[in-house]
Structure formats: C-alpha cells, structure tokens
Chain A
Amino acid sequence: MSVETLHGEPVQSDDPHQAFAVHYKERKQQDESYIVGMWTFLVTEIMFFGALFLAYIVFRNIWPGELSEISREHLNVKLGFINTLILLTSSLTMAMAVQSAQRKIEGRVYFFMFATIALALCFMGVKFVEYSKKYNENHVPGPLFHYVAEGAETKATVAGVEVVKTEGSTEVAHEAEHGRKFSLEPVKGSATSSAQHAEIFFSLYFIMTGLHGIHVILGVLVMLIIIVMMWFKSPLVADFMPIEMTGLYWHFVDIVWIFLYPALYLAHPDLQKFLHG
C-alpha cells in the first residue's frame, strides 16, 4: 500500500518505523525535522531558565556572603543529592525506553517508561518534603514570609502586643499561621535587610525549582499519555519518534537540575550538615 509523492517515494509502509508523510523526501528527513523542531523548543527553554540563572547570579554577586549563608542554613544538601541521583537515573531509564522503542521491544518500552515515571514521582516526593519544611518555617515569599538571621534579635508586634524575640521562637510563626497580622522590626544589626535578602533568595529558589518541578510533572503527564496511547494501539505512537521526543525533553529537564543542584544547594555547604542533617 503506497501513495506516490512528488519524489516518487512511498509515504506509507506496513512498518511504522519506515513510513513518512507526503511532504518529506525520505524518512531520514522527517526524523531530522522532528529532532530539529524539538531542539528549537529546547533552545527557548534554555533561554527561559537562563534568565532565571542570570537573576540568581546577579543577586549572588550583590550579597555573596549573605545568600550563601542562607543557602547553607536552609537548603538540605543531602536531599538535593538524592534528587540529583534520582533524576540522573531517570535519564538512563528514559534513554533505555527510547532505545527499546527504536528496537520495537514493546514490553521494555512500558517497563522503562514506568520506571522513569516512578523515579520522577520519587523526585517530586523529595521536593514535597523540602517545600513543606519551608512552608512550615514561613519561608515561602509572600505576606506571611518570616525570616530572622541566626542570633538576630527582633522586636515583634503580634496582634498589637510588643514582644522582643530571638531566633528559634515559634510564637511569631504560630501567630502567622493563624492569619493574625504581625510585623517585625529590627532591634539591632540588619535583620530587616537580611530578611529582604532572604526573601529574594527564597523567591529565586521557589521560582527556579518550582518551574523545574512543573516541567517534571508535565514530563510525567506526557509519558502517561504515550503509555495509554500505546496500550490502545494508537497509530500516532506506532512510530518511535514520539517517545524519542519525550526523551529529549526529559533529558533537558535533567540537565536543568544538573545546574540547579550546585548553584542553589552546594553554594556554601556544611559537611557536618550533609553527613548528619
């Protein structure tokens, strides 16, 4: 069964790995178009994340000591390490899924796609642990943001009552949780400025890792859609190319994390914290 193209080549074949659309000269050209199209999208993504990295570099350059101190205090190097390990492994399973699709070993494609999804969910689980800790500590930028540099004394106005507090007090955070208005004023040092700088650090942290997390979730959704389509024998996924495109996207997500981990977590780590915390 074939339809002749302008070039006199067949566009349809019983083998989906050989078939190509009418406007291509040959299968190789169609494959190249897919890959170049995906890379074009990935280049826009590089610029997208690149702008955020630039913002981070600029602020790190303005307050180098302070931001690395915040990173050292509040980001868990160990959890970041585990997540890097998980994501690098998921890249391996994804590469294996693509290879299995190219070799038409369907069972293996399912296995490696599910393995990749499982690893992605593990990654998001670790991220959830990290985020919930920051949420509980009121480190999410916004009206309830609360940060006191270690040892800094502040005068807090909680529901109209003025009290002097030091870091470690949970009363202010407790009041904040219950939605009461409170304000913090510095008594000594530069508590306000360090709180502002911390808020900028956490803004960048949440935007960069949050955006990355959204990419992970979208990757999982795309993989699930492909698995469902494969299950129902959709002709759209009979070819290996959709899986290869998903693979390219997934490896890109991995690459972003490869840079995020040293930039955010390892800026100024504490060996003791890594080993025991």
Chain B
Amino acid sequence: MAKHSEHSEAVVSHEEHHEHHYTPTSHFLVVFGFLMIMLFATVGAAFVDLSKVVPIPGLNIIVMLLIATVKASAVVLVFMEVRKGTRLVWMWAAVGFVWLPTMLGILGDYFTRNWTTARPW
C-alpha cells in the first residue's frame, strides 16, 4: 500500500507541471470584439438593399444569416473551446451542422405541398 501512495504522489507532482491549458483572456477579448463588429455588420446588412447591388432576391437575409454563421463559428471555436478539443469533440461539434441541413433538406418537402387555409381560433 505504501508503494501505491508513493506512486500516487509521484504522478500528482508530475501532473502539476501540466496544468490545464486555458485560453488566454486576450483571445476571448479579440473574439468578443469580432462579434461586436459582426453584430453591427448584421444590422448594417439589414438596412442596405443589397439586391440593388447584386440582383439576387432575398440577398439581405442570406448575407445576415451568413454573418450569423460566422459569429456562431467564432463562439463554437473559441468560447466553447472546440479549437483545442480532441478529434472526437471536433466530430461531435460538426455533426450538428451536418444533421441540421439534412433535416432541413428532407423536411423541405413541405415547400412542395398544397396548402389549405386553417380555421382561426
């Protein structure tokens, strides 16, 4: 048993030299600044009629949602620390964004249905 204790202490003191690697505050502040800029970009994209520049209907909402995706990616990678995650963590973080378009694609079938007017309350 004494042998085990020694072994344990050795491991602990060894581990102490390898403290948990935390993300420096400066990284969080940079990402926060980026998110703020992107927030203003989102509102800006809402007020400028982009379809006048490039004739694509609904371009504004597409641009706004693309900016939202960039913002979400920044949060996932740095705030949620996926950037430093293991491969398994990377995979799990990614599958959400694979399954979601899959579901949207499959259930997008609703677009092709005939609609009847529902009775109100």
Q: In whole angstroms, what is the CA distance A248 to B82 when docked?
A: 10
Asked if B65 and A32 make an inter-chain contact with CB atoms under 8 angstroms apart, the answer reads no
B-facing residues in A71-116 (Cβ within 8 Å)? 77, 81, 84-85, 88-89, 91-92, 94-96, 98-99, 102-103
CB 8 Å contact bits of B2-31 with A (1 = contact, 0 = none): 001101100110011001101101001100
Q: In whole angstroms, what is the CA distance A251 to B23 when docked?
A: 16
A: contact size bracket: 35 or more
List residues of B whose CB falls within 8 A of some A CB: 4-5, 7-8, 11-12, 15-16, 19-20, 22-23, 25, 28-29, 32, 35-36, 39, 42-43, 46-47, 58, 61, 64-65, 67-68, 71-72, 75-76, 78-81, 85-86, 88-89, 92-93, 95-97, 99-100, 103-104, 107-108, 110-111, 115, 117-118, 120-121
List residues of A whose CB falls within 8 A of some B CB: 1-2, 4, 9-10, 12-15, 17-18, 27, 32, 35-36, 39-40, 42-43, 46-47, 50-51, 53-54, 57-58, 61-62, 64, 77, 81, 84-85, 88-89, 91-92, 94-96, 98-99, 102-103, 141-143, 145, 192-193, 195-196, 199, 240, 244, 247-248, 251-252, 254-255, 258-259, 261-263, 266-267, 269, 271, 274
Asked if B36 and A263 make an inter-chain contact with CB atoms under 8 angstroms apart, the answer reads no
Asked if B28 and A96 make an inter-chain contact with CB atoms under 8 angstroms apart, the answer reads yes
Asked if B115 and A266 make an inter-chain contact with CB atoms under 8 angstroms apart, the answer reads no
Q: 6 closest pairs, A vs B, by CB?
A: A2-B8, A262-B64, A39-B92, A266-B46, A43-B96, A46-B96
- Contact partner of A35 among B46, B89, B118, CB < 8 A? B89
- Contact partner of B65 among A64, A77, A262, CB < 8 A? A262
A89 to chain B, nearest CB (A): 8
B10 to chain A, nearest CB (A): 10
Q: Specify the chain A residue showing the minimal Cβ separation from B40.
A: A81
| Other A-B pairs, 12, CB within 8 Å; known A91-B35, A262-B61, A266-B61 | A4-B4, A27-B15, A54-B108, A81-B43, A98-B81, A99-B25, A142-B121, A196-B117, A251-B76, A255-B72, A258-B72, A262-B68
Asked if B71 and A258 make an inter-chain contact with CB atoms under 8 angstroms apart, the answer reads yes
Which B residues touch A196, using CB under 8 A? 117-118, 120
Asked if B47 and A271 make an inter-chain contact with CB atoms under 8 angstroms apart, the answer reads yes
Asked if A247 and B12 make an inter-chain contact with CB atoms under 8 angstroms apart, the answer reads no
**Chain A interface, DSSP helix/strand/loop, else mixed:** helix
A231 to chain B, nearest CB (A): 23
Asked if B20 and A240 make an inter-chain contact with CB atoms under 8 angstroms apart, the answer reads yes
Asked if A39 and B79 make an inter-chain contact with CB atoms under 8 angstroms apart, the answer reads no
